[in-house]
Amino acid sequence: MRLALPLLLELSLGVAAGVLGTVLAGQIADATAAAFALSMQFFHTAFLLFRIVGAGISVVLSQQLGYNNPIAAETAARTALLASFVMGLMAAAVLWFGSDRLLLHFEVPEEVRLQAKPLMLWLAPCVLLDALVVAMASVMRAHLFAAQSLRVMMLMHLCHWGLAWLLMSGSFGLSGFAMASLVSRILSLVLLTRCWDRYLGIKTIWITQPTLDQASFRAILRIGLPGAAENAVWRLGFMASVAAASQLGTTALATQAYVLQFNTVILLAGFSMGLSAEILVGRLLGEGNLREAHGLVKRVTWMSLAISGAVSVVVALAGPWLVPLLTDDQTIRDEAIRLLWISVLLETGRSFNLVLLGSLRAVGDARYPLYSGIPSVVILLAGGSWLLAVHWGWGLIGIWFAYAADEWVRGLVLWRRWLKLHWLSAARQSLQRMRQEKKGA
d(CA 279, CA 274): 9
For residue 198, what are the contacts with CB-CB under 8 A and spacing of at least 6? none
How many Cβ atoms sit within 10 Å of the Cβ of residue 422?
13
Q: What is the pLDDT of residue 208?
A: 59
The yes-or-no verdict on residue 178 having pLDDT over 80 is yes
Question: pLDDT by residue (tens digit) across 241-255?
Answer: 988 888 888 888 888
Average the pLDDT over 27-48 and give the result.
74
Q: Which residues contact 208 (CB under 8 A, 6 or more apart)?
A: none
Contact 280, 294 (CB under 8 A): no
Q: For residues 184 and 160, is the Cβ–Cβ distance under 8 A?
A: yes
Residue 325: is its pLDDT beyond 70? yes
Residue with more model confidence, 23 or 284: 284
Percent of the chain with pLDDT over 70: 90
Of the listed ranges 98-112, 359-373, 405-419, the least confidently predicted one is 98-112
Whether residue 363 is predicted with pLDDT greater than 60 in this model: the reply is yes
**420 or 168, which is more confident?**
420
Rounded to whole angstroms, the Cα distance separating 242 from 245 reads: 5
Tell me the pLDDT of the chain averaged across its residues: 85
| CB proximity list for 142: less than 8 A, separation 6 or greater | 57, 58, 61, 62, 65, 73, 279, 282
**Rounded average pLDDT over 76-83:** 85
Q: DSSP characters for 305-327?
A: HHHHHHHHHHHHHTHHHHGGGT-
User: Higher pLDDT residue, 382 or 53?
Assistant: 382
Cα distance between residue 72 and residue 64, in whole Å: 7
More confident call, 6 vs 282? 282
Q: Would you place residue 206 in the very low, low, confident or very high pLDDT band (cuts 50, 70, 90)? A: low
Q: How far apart, in whole angstroms, are the C-alpha atoms of residue 396 and residue 384?
A: 12
Q: Is the dihedral of CA 282, 135, 271, 145 positive or negative?
A: positive
Lowest mean pLDDT among 53-67, 277-291, 371-385: 53-67
pTM, rounded to two decimals = 0.79
- Burial bucket for residue 340 (CB in 10 Å: 0-12, 13-18, 19+): buried
